[in-house]
Structure 1
Amino acid sequence: MLFQVRMDVNIPRDLPVDQVDQIKATEKSYSQDLQQQGKWRHIWRITGQYSNISIFDVESNEELHNILQGLPLYPYMTIEVVALNRHPSSIRDDDR
């Protein structure tokens, strides 16, 4: 199942810098592992914002939910999920 996920990050300004740096490092490792597994297919920054648009390829809504809740930055995010379906006019044989 393919999903488009927008993540807007809002880290509190009073959070200690070393704690923020640790969270970001853990987040990067977590996301890169999911990318290597093929579950987090694409990630793009949104220019001028601390936000991204990502494409996930997972088995179920629950799997995506668990992945998103596992993000170290999750407590500081607003997340919007859009389920994607193949368009009948697509010239691609698959979604890869």
Structure 2
Amino acid sequence: MLFLVRMDVRLPPSMPKEEADALKATEKAYSQGLQRQGKWPHLYRVVGEYANYSIFDVADNDELHTLLSSLPLFPYMEIHVTPLARHPSSIH
């Protein structure tokens, strides 16, 4: 199943820089692992915001929930999920 996911990150301004940097490094490693597995095939930055749009290709809602809630930055994110279906006019 394909899902379009928007993630907005809101780290607390009081978080020490070293802690934020370590959290971001852990997040990067985790997300790149999911990309290599093919579960996170597309990741796009939203220009001018600490946010992204991503496409996930997972078995079902439960798998997506598990992957998203396992993100190290999850406690600091606002996430919006849109299930996707093939469009009848698509040539793919």
The answer to whether the superposition gives a TM-score over 0.5 is: yes
Q: Percent identity?
A: 60
Any stretches of 5+ residues in structure 1 without a counterpart? none
Aligned to 2:86: 86
Does residue 1:4 correspond to 2:4, yes or no? yes
Q: Distance in 2 between matches of 1:20 and 1:46?
A: 20
Amino acid at match of 1:88: P
TM-score by length of 2: 0.99
Match for residue 59 of structure 1? 59
What is the aligned partner in structure 2 of residue 40 from structure 1?
Answer: 40
User: Which aligned runs of 4 or more in structure 1 are off by greater than 2 angstroms?
Assistant: none
Q: The residue matched to 1:7 in structure 2 has which SS?
A: strand
| C-alpha displacement of 1:16 | 1.0
TM-score of the superposed pair, with normalisation by structure 1: 0.95
Aligned-residue offset at 1:62: 0.3
Aligned AA (1:13): P
The total of aligned residue pairs comes to 92
Distance in 2 (CA, whole Å) between partners of 1:16 and 1:46 is 24
